[in-house]
Structure 1
C-alpha cells in the first residue's frame, strides 16, 4: 500500500486575475474561470470527493463561483506530482479548449509573431502549487492541527521560491484592460487601432473604442458562458447593475401606458443599433445604457454600439443622423415615466466585499480531520446561503467562498443588504465576526479603481475599525470620494434609521445644518465631544426639518442618541491613533445618508432629483 500524504494545494492567480476587468462580465468570467480550474484540480485528486477535506461541497452551484482556490486533500505522491506536471496536469487541456473557443468566437486573425505571444501569455497563466507531508490515520485524528500548520508554513515558503518562464514580448503598448501584458495585434499603434476596430465589429465581445486586449483579457471578454457550462450573467455592464431597481419598478407597472411606450421605443431603436428587439414585457433584456437619457445622444450611441467607426469620419455622422429620431423617442418616454410615474434610474451601483475575521485561526484550530470537515461544511453552506440571500434582493454574486464574498447590486437598500449578509454570517458561525467594504460608485467610474477602493475598505474595516465593521466609500462622478466606517451595530442602529427618517420626510437640510456647526462640538484633538450640546442642537434641527404632523419625541430622541455614538464612538482614541479624523468620519457618515436617499428610484410624480 502506497504512503498517504496530506496536501495543501493553491491555484492562482487570484485577485489580480479576477480584478483585471473593465466590464462587469469580465469580472464575473474571471471568477468563474478560477473556480473552474480549481474544480478541475479537485476532481483530479479525488474524483468522488472522498479525499477532499477542505472544502466540503454542500451542493453544486457553479453560478456563484464558490470553490475556494486553496484546498486540503488526502492523496498519494504520484497524483500530486502529476497534478502540476507538464504533461499530466488537469488544467492545461480544458484551459486550451476555452482559449481556442474564445479566439474562434472573436474572429481575430493573428500573424505568427502574435500567435507566439498568444501561446506564451496563456500557457503559463495558471500557478498550481502544492506542499505535502506523509500522514497516517492516527495523525489525522490526534495530530491533525499541527500537520495543517506545518503545511501552511511550507506553502508560504513555496510561494516565495516559485519560478517563472523567461519574459517573451516586446516593448509595444500594453493591454488596455490589465495594463501588464502586451496587446494582441500589430506592434505599430496606428495599425493596432485599426486591428481592434475590426474586432469591435463582433458584438460578442463588446469591445469598445480604445480597447486593445492581451490574450488573457481577450479570452475573458469573448469566452461564451455556455463554454463554461453557465448562462450569461444578468449584468453585463456597470450600467446594467445601476438600473436594476429601476427595471424592477417598471416591471411592477406592466399596464402603465408609459412603460409600454418605452418598450416599443426601445424595440424600434435596437435594430438600428444592430441588436435584436426585446419583444413585449421583457424589461430585463433592455441594455442598461439605454435607460439613461444622456447616453441616448446619437453620438454617444454610435461610440457605444459602433466603436469601429472613426469619430470624425462620414460613417460616424451618417449613423448618428440615422439614430437621432428613434433615440429622441426613447428619451421622451423616459421623461414621461419620470414626470408621470415618479421613477428614474440611479446612476450609481454598489460593490460589496465581506471577509470573515481571523478565519485562518478558526479553521486551523481543530483537533482532528472530522472537526475540520465539520467547519468546512459550515463554510460550504455559507458559500451558497449568502448569495441566495443577495440574489433575492436583485444582487449578483461574483464569488463566494463561505468566509468571503464579492457581490454587486443596485444602490436601493444597499445598507440593509450588507447587514443581511453580516447577520447570516454570524448566525451560521456563532461567536465569529466579519468585516466588509462597500463602494458606491457612478457607473462611468473605472471598475478596476472601484475594486481597489473596495479591497482597501475591507482592510480598513479590519485594521482601523477593529473588525466586525463596515467601511463605505461614495465615489462621485466628479471624482470626489468620501469614506466612513462603523461597527455593524451602528449600521443597524444609526445609519439605517437615518435613511428611514428621510423616507418619512426628514429634510436633507437637517444634515446640511448639522454639518455647518459640527466643529463646535469637538475639542481640538478630536478625542473629546460635547454630547449633550450636540443632542440639544440636533434635537432642535430635527424637529424643525420634520414634515408637519410627524411626531418623533421618543423615537427621535433614541435616534439622535444613537447618532451621537457615531459622532463619538467607543473606539475613538484607537481611530485617532490610526490617523483617522474622527470628525471627518462622522461628517462623511452624515453625507452618505442624503446621497443614498436622493439616488433612490421612487421619487414621486413630478419630482426630479438628479445626482452627479
Structure 2
C-alpha cells in the first residue's frame, strides 16, 4: 500500500534565534538545513517519491512530504536516525583537541541525543484522493506535534545555565580558556552542547558579517572615499585577525574595547585603530543595521490547489527556485541570507538597502509561485542582543501578516520610542512614497526634520477630542507650514476642508510650488480618519527621516 508521509523537524525558530553572534545565527541555520536535507535524502533513498522538497540537494525546509510504498513507520524511524547522526557528527567535529578537555562529555551527549524534535504522520493515498489525503496527513501531524513528549532537559543544581538556551545546563567546565581561541568566550559566557556546536561551526565558516560590519556599510564607503589611508590601516588590522574582525568592528569605540579585552586584538592594534579613526565616534545612523523576516501568505490555500502529486512537485520546484533566488537578492543588496527555505527568509542587511531588498524578494516570490509575501524589517542597534533584535524582526513580520501581502518596518533607536508601520505592497512592488519622502527629508528645500513631530503632537492631542475632518484639516495645515517653498497649490480630499483649502490657496498661490512628494503626502493625510491613522503616518515619516541620513553614494 502507498502512503503519504509527512515529517516535521524542530525546533526551528528558537534553534536559529539562539545566538549571540551573527556567526552563531548562520551556523544554526546551516545545521538545520543539513539535518532536513539528511531526512529528505533518507526518505528518497528508501524508495520514497519526494513531493516537498522537490530537490533535497538545493532545499532545506524543516517539512518533508513524500509518497512511500514501504512501511511508513520504519521509513520515518530510519529518517530520524539520519537526522540524529547529522547532529552527532556535528558534535564530534566541534570536539577539537582544544575544546574536548574542557567539556562535560556525559552532559553534552545527553543534550545532543535529546535535542531534536521529530514528528511524523502518514495516511494511505492513491491517484484519486491526493487532496484529501494531504489534508488528513497534515491534520494528523499537527495533532502529533500538539502531543509533545515533554522530556525535560537534564538539569543539575549548581551548574550554570546556557544563556542562549536557559533550559539547558552549560557543558563548559571552569577550565575552559577565556578571551582567546577557539571559542573566544566572554568571562561569564557559558554554552550548552548545541550552542557550542554553532559557535565552533560559526567560527570555522567565515564570511558571516558581524552586526558592526553590517551597520557600517555606508560609513566604510564614506571613509574609503574620503580617507583611503585610514581605511587601508583599518583593513590591515582586520586582516591580521584572520577574519575574526572586520573593518566595521574597528570603527566603534565600544566594539573596539570589547575586542581588546576579549583578546581578539592586542592593545597596540587597538591604539592603531583608534588613531586611524581619529578618536571620532561614528554618526548615530551608522550604528544600525536591519534584520528581515519574510513568510508566504495563505500557503495552505495555494497548496490546496495542488490536486495531484505532480502539480505539488512542480509547485515545490518553484519554491526551490525562489529560495535560491532569495540568496542572490540578499547578496546583491550587501546582506547575508541566514535562512531561505520554501517560503521563509531570514536575512541580515545594511539599513539603507533593506527596503529595496524586501520589495525585490516580494516581487520574486510572486513571480515564482503567484503568491504574496509578507515581509518584516526591523532596524536595530548593532550592540543590542542579537536574540532581542531577531524577535523585533519577527514582531514586524507578524505586523505585516495582519493584512498580508504587506511590508512592515520597525525602527528601534536607542533613546527613542519604537516605531512601526505596515502597508500593503503596491501592485508593481515599487516603494514610491518611501523614496519620495526619504528624498524630501534629504533635500535642502524639502521637508523640515521637525515636521513628523508636529504631526505626532497633533495626533496625541487629537485622541478623543477632534473629529476626523478637523484632524485632517489640522494635519494638512501642519504640512504646509513645514514645506520649505514659499508658494504651492493645495488640493484637499475632504469637502469639509474646502474653506480652509481656499484660504491657504489664496495666501500661498504663486511660484512653482510643485514638490514631488506633496501630492502623496496630502493623499496620505487625507486618509487619516482618526488619531491612530495619523500616528501610523507619523511612524512612516520618522522612519523616512531616519533613512534620509544615509549618504546616497553608498
Class of the TM-score when normalised by the shorter of the 2 chains:
0.7 to 0.9
Give the counterpart of 2:172 among 185, 207, 211. Answer: 185
List runs of 5+ in structure 2 lacking aligned partners: 488-510
Mapped to 1, the partners of 2:430 and 2:460 lie a distance apart of 23
Check conservation: 1:519, 1:583, Cα contact below 8 A.
no
2:243 matches 1:243: no
Per the alignment, do residues 134 and 514 of structure 1 end up closer, same or farther by CA in structure 2, a change over 3 Å counting? Answer: closer
Per the alignment, do residues 551 and 23 of structure 1 end up closer, same or farther by CA in structure 2, a change over 3 Å counting? Answer: farther
Per the alignment, do residues 556 and 223 of structure 1 end up closer, same or farther by CA in structure 2, a change over 3 Å counting? Answer: closer
Q: Deviations over 1:550-586 (max 9, x none)?
A: 9651634323234325645xxx7xxx9xxxx433323
Per the alignment, do residues 524 and 82 of structure 1 end up closer, same or farther by CA in structure 2, a change over 3 Å counting? Answer: same
Aligned to 1:143: 129
Offset at 1:433? Answer: 2.1
Aligned to 1:214: 192
Check conservation: 2:320, 2:342, Cα contact below 8 A.
yes
Per the alignment, do residues 323 and 103 of structure 1 end up closer, same or farther by CA in structure 2, a change over 3 Å counting? Answer: same
Per the alignment, do residues 300 and 206 of structure 1 end up closer, same or farther by CA in structure 2, a change over 3 Å counting? Answer: closer
Q: Deviations over 1:93-139 (max 9, x none)?
A: 3322211111216524247xx2211111111212222111222xxx2
Check conservation: 1:522, 1:530, Cα contact below 8 A.
no
Q: Deviations over 1:192-216 (max 9, x none)?
A: 3xx34x14421x4342332111111
Mapped to 2, the partners of 1:526 and 1:55 lie a distance apart of 54
Q: Deviations over 1:41-98 (max 9, x none)?
A: 111111499710112239x55xxxx411101111234464244259x82123332221
Offset at 1:404? Answer: 1.8
Offset at 1:167? Answer: 4.1
Offset at 1:544? Answer: 4.3
Aligned to 1:302: 260
Mapped to 2, the partners of 1:435 and 1:529 lie a distance apart of 34
Residue 352 of structure 1 aligns to a residue whose secondary structure is strand
TM-score, normalisation: structure 2: 0.85
Give the counterpart of 1:152 among 110, 115, 138. Answer: 138
Per the alignment, do residues 161 and 77 of structure 1 end up closer, same or farther by CA in structure 2, a change over 3 Å counting? Answer: farther
List aligned pairs for 1:369-384, cutoff 5 A.
369-384=309-324
Give the counterpart of 1:201 among 171, 180, 188. Answer: 180
Aligned to 1:596: 547
Aligned to 2:246: 286
Per the alignment, do residues 105 and 43 of structure 1 end up closer, same or farther by CA in structure 2, a change over 3 Å counting? Answer: farther
Q: Deviations over 1:215-255 (max 9, x none)?
A: 111111012676xxxx53331x211221233345556x4xx
Aligned to 2:299: 359
Aligned to 2:96: 104
Mapped to 2, the partners of 1:514 and 1:207 lie a distance apart of 47
Residue 375 of structure 2 aligns to a residue whose secondary structure is strand
Give the counterpart of 1:418 among 358, 379, 404. Answer: 358
Per the alignment, do residues 493 and 143 of structure 1 end up closer, same or farther by CA in structure 2, a change over 3 Å counting? Answer: same
Check conservation: 1:384, 1:402, Cα contact below 8 A.
no
Give the counterpart of 1:553 among 514, 525, 538. Answer: 514
Check conservation: 1:522, 1:529, Cα contact below 8 A.
no
Give the counterpart of 1:476 among 405, 409, 413. Answer: 413
Per the alignment, do residues 517 and 530 of structure 1 end up closer, same or farther by CA in structure 2, a change over 3 Å counting? Answer: closer
Offset at 1:300? Answer: 3.9
Per the alignment, do residues 185 and 375 of structure 1 end up closer, same or farther by CA in structure 2, a change over 3 Å counting? Answer: closer
List runs of 5+ in structure 1 lacking aligned partners: 187-191, 279-283, 308-318, 605-612
Aligned to 1:448: 387
Mapped to 2, the partners of 1:395 and 1:470 lie a distance apart of 18
List aligned pairs for 1:422-501, cutoff 5 A.
422-430=362-370, 432-463=371-402, 466-478=403-415, 480-489=417-426, 492-501=431-440
Q: Deviations over 1:499-542 (max 9, x none)?
A: 12223332423334444444567763886664355334413422
Residue 201 of structure 1 aligns to a residue whose secondary structure is coil
Mapped to 2, the partners of 1:290 and 1:526 lie a distance apart of 53
Check conservation: 1:412, 1:601, Cα contact below 8 A.
no
Offset at 1:439? Answer: 0.8
Aligned to 1:8: 6
Q: Which stretch of structure 1 is more off in the superposition, 10-19 or 163-172?
A: 163-172
Q: Deviations over 1:385-404 (max 9, x none)?
A: 22212211111111112322
Aligned to 2:44: 46
Check conservation: 1:354, 1:435, Cα contact below 8 A.
yes
TM-score, normalisation: structure 1: 0.77
Per the alignment, do residues 103 and 480 of structure 1 end up closer, same or farther by CA in structure 2, a change over 3 Å counting? Answer: farther
Per the alignment, do residues 93 and 462 of structure 1 end up closer, same or farther by CA in structure 2, a change over 3 Å counting? Answer: closer
Mapped to 1, the partners of 2:31 and 2:44 lie a distance apart of 20
Per the alignment, do residues 478 and 512 of structure 1 end up closer, same or farther by CA in structure 2, a change over 3 Å counting? Answer: closer
With a CA cutoff of 8 Å and minimum separation of 6, indicate the structure with the bigger relative contact order.
1
Offset at 1:486? Answer: 2.0
Offset at 1:18? Answer: 0.8
Give the counterpart of 2:85 among 84, 89, 93. Answer: 93
Per the alignment, do residues 119 and 556 of structure 1 end up closer, same or farther by CA in structure 2, a change over 3 Å counting? Answer: closer
2:146 matches 1:174: no
Residue 592 of structure 1 aligns to a residue whose secondary structure is helix
Per the alignment, do residues 266 and 381 of structure 1 end up closer, same or farther by CA in structure 2, a change over 3 Å counting? Answer: closer
Check conservation: 2:48, 2:69, Cα contact below 8 A.
no
